[in-house]
Chains A and B, each alone.
Chain A
Amino acid sequence: MITLKLKNIEDLKTKTGKKNLLIACGLCPYWNFSKEDIDKLGESLNSGFMKLPMLCNYPEIKVDSDEYDRIFVLACGAGSQVVSDVLDKEIIPVADTTGIGVKSDGKIRNYCSACGDCIIDETSGICPIMRCSKSLLNGPCGGVQDGKCEVGDIDCGWIQIGERMTKSGGKDLFMSVRRPRLIK
């Protein structure tokens, strides 16, 4: 699903008006966050609350937007834009869209950044664009420590690519030089 990270709540509070509404997409946000956390968000923003099925389907939004000073949206960047389009009004996103991810052992990890030219057939089925902090085509860089990336809290994607590739006899492929792609 689309991965989301909530913005700083204190910063969001400074953007509230007298009458606020929080519109949440019913899909990805509920995969990223618990229902309780989403309910709490509405309370912290002192706002009314509306949950819509899938904002990416351009649903009808039965709201008189003139009634509200501020409309907050909990959705991916695309869903947030849909709300703005449908209501023809400015909105405030409450989350940052960070990628396309997976959940295992209760932990969400980003696996794809929708780069537009999938090359994971050349990288053992592991994405070097999202799972390497520098999106390197020829990793790992020298900063890897105990298999962890030099920045952020992620496992180094290139160590994983190397392990899977060399295990299946692809040592030469791993040692080959991959050139930058021309994404049309």
Chain B
Amino acid sequence: MSKLSDNFGKTFIVTGEVAPPRGPDLTEYMHEVDEFKDMKDKLYGVNVVDIPGAMLLMSSLAGSIILQQNGIEPIYQLVCRDRNQLALESDLIAASAFGIENVLALTGDHPACKASDHPSAKGVFDLDSATLIETMKVMNEGKDFAGGDLNKPTNFFIGAALAPGATPIDGEIYKTKRKLTAGADFFQTQAVFESSLMGDCINKYESLIGEDIRDKVLMGLVPLYSYGMVKFLRTMPGIVISEETGQRIKNAEDPVEEGINIAAELIDNARDMDLAGVHIMPAGKIEALVRLLENL
């Protein structure tokens, strides 16, 4: 059992996130790994991103193995954009063989999305988040997606994404239920800057599906560092940053400090909403994560 699955629902969960390097030099990555070692007791897992926004990085499997071997529990992110069924299953077997249990199943951004640095790459999308979740579920029963046998069952704790900022939201809600039916154990949301957005999403789920999902949700947070970052993030799909939040960063003497304050308030909001926890994406500024954890 992973520490994440063991503690999920029993305590307020906090997870972090790291990006593998964009090249074979691991020096900086290992520095970050060292920082995560110090935070180990307060973190229940660290996501290792898989070529987000179709911007090339070292493989998330390798990045996750490095965490695992350094005693930090990885949440291995896996996107369907770059691999067919065989490649996904093969990587999942490798992950399991190396002791990795937490996996976040993602469809993946389109290779031609705005952020991409490889717009001519072919998008595979043989499976999608829902069928990747199903794949892991059958692998946990010792089978592969096509019905064949594995020499031993895997032990995946299956995560999925939730996008509270998708509009219209109904499709996202129904899809979330579909992921649960497929076998998702927990959800991590895209970055949320206004707790009302999260609250609306949870309420909408309840009204459309008739179930309460808050004990499965880790609310995604990104500490804001500057007004430039606010402006940039506002151009991204699904990101809502209110006028008030924007002004707080703009008028702050120390925007980094104010960003940490806002994130800390959001953590309190997540507790008040009875969510399972928060997922903090430090966007390269690991100090912000350290500071937020200190106050927990």
Contacts and interface: CB of A to CB of B under 8 A. Distances in A.
Contacts of B162: 142
A139 B128 CA distance: 8
B174 A134 contact: no
B130 A142 contact: no
Nearest to B169: A144
Given A134-B123, A143-B110, A179 B131 contact: yes
B148 to A, nearest CB: 15
A174 interface: yes
A143 B238 contact: yes
* Interface bin, chain B: 20 to 34
Find the residue from B130, B172, B182 having the highest chain A CB count within 10 A.
Answer: B130
Given A134-B107, A147-B168, A180-B131, A140 B175 contact: yes
Interface in A95-143: 133-143
Nearest to B124: A134
Interface residues of A, number: 32
B238 A145 contact: yes
Interface in B145-204: 161-163, 166-168, 170-172, 174-175, 177-178, 181-182, 190
A149 to B, nearest CB: 8
B238 A139 contact: no
B129 interface: yes
Given A142-B238, A159-B168, A180-B85, 19 more contacts: A138-B131, A140-B172, A141-B107, A143-B166, A143-B237, A144-B172, A145-B166, A145-B238, A146-B167, A147-B167, A147-B168, A150-B110, A150-B113, A150-B237, A175-B174, A175-B181, A177-B178, A178-B131, A180-B127
Interface of A: 133-147, 150-152, 156, 158-159, 162-163, 166, 171, 174-180
